[in-house]
Every structure is written in structure tokens, then in C-alpha cells.
Structure 1
Amino acid sequence: MKKTKLYMDTVVDIQVVAEGAKESLAVERSMDRAFEMFRQVELACSRFDPDSELMRACRHVETSVKISPFLFEPLKFALEIAEWTNGVFDPTVGKLMEERGFNRRYLTGDIVDSTASGSATFRDIVLNELEQTICLLQPAVLDLGAVAKGFAIDLAAKELSCFPGFLINAGGDIYAGGQDESAEPWTVGIRHPLNRQDVIYMVSMSNEAICTSGSYERKSPKEAGQHHLIHPQTKLSPSGLVSCSVIAPYAMLADALSTVSFLLGSDGARQLIEQEKLKGILINSSMQIIKAGEI
């Protein structure tokens, strides 16, 4: 059974392998709950909705604001990755992205502008885990685009884990649970960066996520040669890689590390992926495939 819906400015496909017609009602209910996870995460984490939890929290400075787990958990994870990478990954990059023209909702064209400055870093975000609150020490626009979709995929996967096989595809970020209809691992294709309809590499996977960050999808309307993957320290878009896919046990990790790996470039990416005993497929500007880890 397969269903498709639109969430988080992307097409979300869910496919479930069911053993018989008797399961169809249970499958439908589980799929509805899985899609609901995307809706909840979008309501909490969208930078393009002025009424989202994220954007409401950004309007408060030096004041603790209580937030839901749908925002707290991905933000906490983003800060852990930021600390670990010493700021190569930084969720306060939102203002910089606005300045580069990435303030237009991808599908509707609606524009969201903020009045925050661009000087904050991840160290200006204080989370209180006991109280589930956030406090911004400086004005900031938070961007959780590198973790929120992965978080939604992981929550959806939990709703479908009772079935022998399922595949969640959110705009090319994928979790493959169990086995496909032939009782084999799922086969997933990585899109060719230049030819949208072509696949450049195939991977076989089960109970794993694969997420891809690439420079080909969203170009800056304001600065030539710049795209939506911006290094928060250099304030530039790296050009060494055009695509970086990371395979990890869960999607939020794959999502974040595909972004980090892209920002680090091929050598740094390979070192990071292999250090964490993960797998990666990197594609440079010459369309050369660089494998990382045991893939």
C-alpha cells in the first residue's frame, strides 16, 4: 500500500508491505499517524511560517519560552551537532539564509522576513531540558532544515515499525524499514545531480536511513554561485561537492551529517563518515563518485 501527501514543502511518499487484505485498515491507520508526524514537525519547526513554534520563539530574546517536544528535540540535536563540529553546523544560520534570498516558501512563493540581526551563533541558544524551554541570548533566526525532516521521518518510522517492511521518502530523504515486497533489502537510487530523471548510484539497505544534501536544488536568487548550503563561518557556499549522501541508523543523524559532510568537502566528509562508522556517497563537480565507509 502506498500513499503520498505534501508536507514540509516536499512530497512525502509512504509505502508499506502488508501481509494480506485483513491488514489494510491497520496499515491505513498507521500511515495516517505517520503523516501526522510530518504535520506536527512542520507546525513546530518551519522557518517559513511566521506562526510556527520556531518563529514565535525567535521573537523573544533573553526570555525563556516553553516549547513542545516537536521543536525541543530537533533543536537539542542540532545544538549537539553544532558543538561537536565546533560551529561548522549552526542552526542560527537562518538570518544569513534570508539575506541570500532563501526566505521564500519553496512551493507557495510566500516570503518571510525577520528583523533579527545575523551575529548570533549556536552558543547564544540556551535550552533547559527539565523545563523544556529555549532562551535566545541574542536576536536570531533559527533554521532546522538540516534536522527537522529527518526527525519527522524517524517519528513516522516508529509508527510503521510493526510492519515487515516500509519505505518513507520525503523529497529524497529516505528511511527503509525491514524488507520490500520480495523479502529483500530495499533498493534506493541517488539522483544524478545534473540529470533530474537519472539515477547516479544505487544502494541496498534495510532498517537504515539515507539523506542527501546537494547544491543543485536551490540556488541563491541574489548571489551567483551561491546555494542554500552555507558554511556559517565563511558565509560562503562550498563548491567542492555537488551531492553528499549519508547512510545512518536513523534519519535525523543522516540528515544532519549529509549537511556537515557537504560543508567539510570530500576529504573532511570521508574522514567524518568513516570515523563515525557510517556510509556515504559523495559526488564532486566532475561527477566523480567518492565512497566513504563500507559501502
Structure 2
Amino acid sequence: MIRIYIILFSLLFTVYTGYSQEIYKRTLKLMGSRFEITVVAKEQVIAKQYIDVAIQEIKRIEALISSWDTQSQTTRINQNAGIQPVKVDQELFDLIKRAISISKLTDGAFDISYASMDKIWKFDGSMKKMPSKEKINQSVAKVGYQNIVLNQQELTVFLSKKGMKIGFGAIGKGYAADKAKELLISKGVKAGIINASGDMSTWGKQPDGSDWKVAITNPLNKDHAFAMLPVVDKAVVTSGNYEKYVTFDQKRYTHIIDPRTGYPSTGIVSATIFAPKAELADALATSVFVMGIETGINRVNQLNTIECIIIDQDGKIHTSENIQIDSK
């Protein structure tokens, strides 16, 4: 998934005259993605310590949920699909349980068992024709959150179909951002941002007392920000697919694929979700693509504290009921 077009408006590493706090930032690669960790602190040495704490927490999360790490609990779950349940830590169990809840909420548009999907769609220019209907149906044969069996008492996870897999690509970075934020708050950090490749979790205010703000740009007109919105103790995630797509019979098919059908999403080029947690915003950004404009906005409108901005393939902007856009 590509996270795009969220621009943080703040002056980084700048001394604010008259204020005892400053903004410090570090950019690095974690979980295979670009992370920016920003904290407000009195001096650089303290900020460095806080950022180091956040980095270690993100690495801990990666070790827990990675499906590439042969020693991770997630890998063991996948290796034992159709064979036996696997005992896991409470943290991973709870994350999977919440993921299943989001699957139910979105009628399966979000599904961590998408990792079972056969990758028959290619968005590197090599595809010359659509896959057959049979191949598409076969590609999702092992996908289905209903086949993830949880045992609360034993803290076990069982994938009931042989060859089934789970993966946290559409929720993991958001979860890591939330956990790093929670840990820094517990350490006394009054304000900051964890930006996990566009999955942003914020808290507190800038040293001058102003809110953190993000600019939302249209991927079809990247030079102009059509909205500049405050992000107050919440998360914002943008999912976009304007770069990875194929066109057959004058219809554009994008790289975000519906795990229920095996067909790529159509009609949307960018979806931005505002939510209390990056984990939820991350999952819903993907889900909105799959559900489509009308269904996606209707579902968001039913959820308290959740808002969205959608840009369709023609560049038209669609918003949920309570979003307030002030043009830049």
C-alpha cells in the first residue's frame, strides 16, 4: 500500500524564541518503510533518548508481527495453518481479534488473511491481459477471516485451511505508530508525531501552542493543497494508488485488491482517514478503497470519531458528514 500526500506543517529543529520547548525529528527505515519520529523536548540530548525509546518499541512490534521473520509468532501461525493452533502472546492475540472485528465492520473489505492471496495481478507493466475469471477465483480460495479461529482461554490462533496465511501489511505500521506514541506519553513526552510512512499518530501541540496540521493534496494536482486540517491527539492515514494500476478495455484496475473477490479496486485514487488510532485509520483507508465511494462514506458516517476524504479518479473530492475543510 502506498501512503501519500500528507505534508506536516512545522519547523523542525528550529528554536522557538520565547518557548522552552523545541521540535526534534529523526528519519529512518523501520519495518521496511520510512519512519519519521518527532518529539517536543527541552533539549536535543533528551529528545534523542526519547526517539531511541520509540525506535526500540517499533522494532519490538516488528519482531512480533513480521511474517518474514522465521522466528516470529506470526510465522508460526502461518506454518501451522490447517495443522494445529499456535499459542501466542496476549498482545498479538488482541491485535488479531481487533483485526477480525474490523473485517466484520467492513464486510470483509479488510482481511488480514489477504496474505493467502495468490499474486496474479502485476502492476509493473508486464501484464498484457486480464487474468481469467477462474484464476481470479482461485487466487482468493484460501482467504477468509472467518477461518481464523481464536481461543481466548488458551490464547491460541488457528488458521483452519492448509496454506492459509495472515499478514499485517494493512494495519501493522499503524499499530506500531500507536504503540510508540503510547510509550512516549508514558515517559512524559508532552507532544510529538509518529509518522510511519504516512500513518501518522499525533499528540499534544507545537511549542508555540498551535495544533499540528496536515495538508491534503490531490494526487492529480500535487502542486496544490486543497485542505489544511488540524490533527489534535488523533491519527491520519492516506492510502493512494494513482501510480500502481493497469488498464484493460479503458477501465483502470489498481493495486489494492478486494480480498473477497480477487479483483482490484476501481474509482478511487486517494482516501484519507482521521481516527483516534492509527491502527484503525490504517485498516479503514484500505477498506474504503475496496468498498468504493458511496459504501465507504456511508460506513464512515456510521462510526463516531471517524472522518474521511476521498478523491475519485476524476479528481472530484468526497467527504464524510462532519469533516470541515478550510481551503489553503
The one-letter code of the counterpart of 1:290 is H
Pairing 1:77-96 to 2, within 5 Å after superposition = 77-96=98-117
Q: Please tell me whether the aligned partners of residues 41 and 70 of structure 1 are also in contact (alpha carbons under 8 angstroms).
A: no
Instruction: Tell me which moved more, 78-87 or 92-101.
Output: 92-101
Measured after TM superposition, the shift of residue 170 of structure 1 is 1.1
Where do residues 1-295 of structure 1 align in structure 2 (5 Å cutoff)?
A: 1-18=24-41, 20-21=42-43, 24-61=44-81, 62-96=83-117, 98-100=119-121, 118-138=141-161, 139-161=163-185, 162-194=188-220, 199-216=225-242, 218-219=244-245, 225-277=252-304, 278-295=306-323
1:198-246 Cα offsets, whole Å, 9 max, x none, are 64532211101001222235457xxx95443211222111111111111
SS of corresponding position for 2:262: coil
Query: RMSD of the TM alignment (CA)?
Result: 2.5
Contact 1:219 1:226 in 2 (8 A): yes
Match of 2:3 in 1: none
CA offset at residue 26 of structure 1? 4.0
* Equivalent residues of 2:170, 2:282 under 8 A apart: yes
Aligned AA for 2:263?
L
Partner AA of 2:57 in structure 1: M
- The structural deviation recorded for 1:124 is 1.0
Shift of the 136–255 alpha-carbon distance from structure 1 to 2, 3 Å rule, reads: same
Between structure 1 and structure 2, the one with the greater Rg is: 2
Indicate the larger mover: 32-41 or 64-73.
64-73
How far, CA to CA, are the matches of 2:223 and 2:56 in structure 1?
A: 29
Tell me the distance in 1 between the aligned counterparts of 2:65 and 2:122: 19
Q: Please tell me the residue identity of whatever aligns with 1:190.
A: I
Q: Deviation of residue 12 (structure 1)?
A: 0.5
CA distance in 1, matches of 2:224, 2:34: 18
Q: Do the aligned residues in 1 keep the contact of 2:64 with 2:92 (CA within 8 Å)?
A: yes
> Which letter maps to 1:206?
V
Deviation at 1:247, TM superposition (A): 0.3
Distance 1:117 1:60 in 2: 19
TM-score (norm 1): 0.84
* 1:139-167 Cα shifts (integer Å, max 9, x gaps): 31212212111110110111222322201
The unaligned stretches of length 5 or more in structure 1 are 103-115
CA contact (8 A) 1:45 1:70 kept: no
Q: RCO higher in 1 or 2 (8 Å CA, sep ≥ 6)?
A: 2
Shift of 1:189: 2.3
| Native 8 Å contact 1:186 1:204 kept in 2 | yes
Q: Could you list the per-position Cα deviations for residues 178-209 of structure 1 after superposition, in whole angstroms to 9, with x for gaps in the alignment?
A: 11132111011235424667645322111010
TM-score for both structures, normalised by structure 2: 0.76
* Deviation string, structure 1 residues 20-77 (Cα, Å, up to 9, x no partner): 23xx444333322212222122222234445543223201033111223453332221
Tell me the matched-pair count: 276
Which has the larger displacement, 195-204 or 148-157?
A: 195-204
The sequence identity of aligned pairs, in percent, is 30
1:107 alignment partner in structure 2: none
Distance in 1 of aligned mates of 2:147 and 2:60: 26
Q: For residues 231 and 121 of structure 1, what CA distance do their matches in structure 2 show?
A: 12
